[in-house]
Structure formats: C-alpha cells, structure tokens
Amino acid sequence: MRYIDEFRDQAVARGLAEAIAAAVEPGREYRLMEFCGGHTHAIFRYGVPDLMPANLRFVHGPGCPVCVLPIARLDQAIALAERHRVTLCTYGDLMRVPASGGRSLLTAKAGGADVRLVYSTQDALALARREPDRQVVFLAIGFETTTPPTAVALKAARAEGLTNFSVFCNHVLTPPALRAILAAAAPDGVQIDGILGPSHVSTVIGSRPYAFVPEVFGTPLVIAGFEPLDVMHATLMLVRQINAGEHRVENQYTRAVTEAGNAKAQALVNEVFTRRAAFEWRGLGWLPDSALALAEAYADLDAERRFPVEVAAAREVKGCDCPSILRGVKRPTDCRLFGTACTPQTPLGACMVSSEGACAAYWSYGRFRAAGRAA
C-alpha cells in the first residue's frame, strides 16, 4: 500500500544501516529511547536492533496507553459497569488487561456486566441512540492521538441532546510523561542520549511541545514515523546530533507532522477538556498536569460525576515488572514471569496484553532470545 511499502524497502534499509554504522563513534554509547509502543513494535517486528552497531541500543518508553493506565482506574471502570448497570463501551485493547484480584473487563462481562467493544467513538454514540433506555458510558483512554475523537463524540452528544451518553475519561498527555522520565535520576531513572519522538501524537500536537526536551534536559529529540525506515532514518538523525554535541527537536515524519499540528483537533480538545491537577500513571506515579478531564461545560456528560464509585486500593500483580519496564529501567526479559507464567495467551500484566506493550513485542517477534544484544 502507498506510504507503507516504500517505507519498508530493504535496499534503502541496508543503506541506512550502513550510514548509521559509519556514523557512530567507537567508544561512545548511544542509548535512544523510543517513547511510543508503536515504535517498539516496529523495531522488533523488522529486526532493527540486528541492523544496529553494538554501541547503539533502544530503550523502550512508556508510550502504550493501556500499559500506563493505573489498575485503580480499571477497577473503577469495572465497578461502574457492575454497580451502576451501565453499558460500558471501550476499545478492544483494554478488554483483557488484568485489574485487581485477577479480574478484567472480560471477566466482568462474563459475570453479567454489559461491556461492549467498539471500534470508534461513533459506534458508542450510535449505541446510545439505538438504546435510549440504557446508559452508555464510553471508557476513554489514549494519548493525544485518541483524544480528539472523544471530543467529537462529546460535542455531538451535546448537540443532539443525548442524555444517556457519558464518558469515563482517562486521556493522558505525552509531554509530562517525557519530562518525568528525563527528570528521574538513578536508580529510578535511566540514561538516555536521544529520543525518538511520537509519530501520531505529534500529528495532533505538532513538534513545538517538545521544545523543553533539548532546552531543559539537553537531550536531542527526533519525531519519527512508525515504519522501519522512519525509525532508522530518525536514528541516524539522532546519531548525527549526538556526535555534533547538538540538541534540537527535529522532525523526520514531515509527511504527517507539522510544527503547529492539527489546529482543528486542538481547538476541539481545548473546548471539551480541561487539565487535571494530577493523574496517576502506572510506572511513573502521580504526574502533575498530565491528564485530561471533561471541562465544566461538559460536566453533565462526565461519567465520574454521573456514576460515582468507590473502590478499594488497587493491587498490582505480584512479580510483574511492568512499572519498571515502562520507565525503561528494566527489560521484559528481566521479569521472572516473562514467557513462563506470563505469555500473550495468559497475560499477567498490561505490557503483555497490548500489542504496543514491550513484553508483547519481545514475545511476538522472538527477539527475547537475543535480548542481551537486541535490547
């Protein structure tokens, strides 16, 4: 398909691999964090680590929305569906994520809760129109990429006067998470020499919000597309900056990302949402100004207000290293449960459930066998 096949071309990849090998300086370490799970996935699926010189490695970041959702929020969603008997709709990624006590949305559904999978916020709206006697709650999750579609749905619900639609909002913001990772010092932190910046998040927010990365932390950042050639090209751009002692925001993904981003989407998001004072991220803890809630003007469509729930303190799965993996401090192979108790068929943690999770990427593409080198 156009814009996919040409960015997977093997001959061009070979050239880029040679260029990277020639560019790296011996004796220097290049530890590059790819923020997005989409990049982690591309890196392993196409065997990019095997094409890299020994002194360059990828550190996996927290950019997997399902993985960073704290278990407490998932417990609340399950409680909301069970106690208020609403119809809870969400994207498929979330269905099998383990909540406290070995539960999940899927087990709640099996137990009689009305949990439904939707592909789009449009499907959730259509459900609310079709079943006016049911309260339909959309369990919203995702980074800046996925937030505008939720905003569109809320605006439509308001315009139509739909009284049986509301949103349980878990949308989070990328820049505060990047800041938290860069600010963390050892032993909680990880040394990072450059960052592969988000692809599709950046189509929405543009390249400007990353300016603090070089300014405050002196770290270069290159926004990269999700195809393997994009990852390699951005890697080369990072190596060149590191060699030159520079730190700038560069944009490799110019075919979809501009400096200003998508103004229409940003305006919608600003109208419908407001920033929360703080929000909990799995692995990163409570981060200030890092998530969105419904704005006051949309408070009546806020499921948190319409259907309040109290839940007991969340329980993390014992032995699951997701929190450290999300900070880039550990690798999936460092987890004792990886590949034994925890596999994609029997996932114990979110990082194994989601296709954007690092554990799933290691498992699916068999790279864990060469983990000493590949990670």
Quick one: three-class SS letters along 243-262?
HCCCCCEEECCCCCCCCCCC
User: SS3 of 23, please?
Assistant: helix
CB 346 to ligand SF4: min, Å = 9
CA dist 129 and 162 (Å) reads: 7
Where are the strands (E) in 72-178, listed by range?
87-90, 114-117, 136-142, 165-171
Beta strands 56-63 and 30-36 are parallel
Give the residue with the Cβ less far from another protein, 190 or 232.
232
Amino acid letter, 364: S
CB 250 to ligand SF4: min, Å = 32
- x-or-dash string of contact with ligand SF4, 311-350, rule CB under 6 A: ---------xxx--x------x--x-xx---x-----xx-
Beta strands 278-281 and 285-288 are antiparallel
Instruction: Establish if 80 lies at the interface with ligand SF4 (CB under 6 A).
Output: no
- x-or-dash string of contact with ligand SF4, 346-375, rule CB under 6 A: --xx-xx------x----------------
Give the residue with the Cβ less far from ligand SF4, 153 or 335.
335
The item of ligand SF4, another protein, none sharing an interface with residue 349, based on CB under 5 to 8 Å by kind, is ligand SF4
Give the residue with the Cβ less far from another protein, 40 or 79.
40
What are the two backbone dihedrals, phi and then psi, of residue 137, each rounded to the nearest 5 degrees? Answer: -115, 125
CB 245 to ligand SF4: min, Å = 36
CB 188 to ligand SF4: min, Å = 17
CA dist 148 and 375 (Å) reads: 34
b/e 38-47 (16+ beta carbons within 10 angstroms → b):
bbbbbbbebb
Task: List CB contacts of 131: < 8 A, sequence separation 6 or more.
Answer: 87, 164
CB 85 to another protein: min, Å = 26
Give the residue with the Cβ less far from another protein, 68 or 311.
68
CB 183 to ligand SF4: min, Å = 23
The residues in 129-188 that bind ligand SF4, with binding defined as CB under 6 A, are: none
CB 144 to another protein: min, Å = 9
CA dist 349 and 195 (Å) reads: 25
User: SS3 of 97, please?
Assistant: coil
Give the residue with the Cβ less far from another protein, 104 or 121.
121
CA dist 368 and 344 (Å) reads: 14
Give the residue with the Cβ less far from another protein, 207 or 307.
207
The residues binding ligand SF4 (CB under 6 A) are 320-322, 325, 332, 335, 337-338, 342, 348-349, 351-352, 359
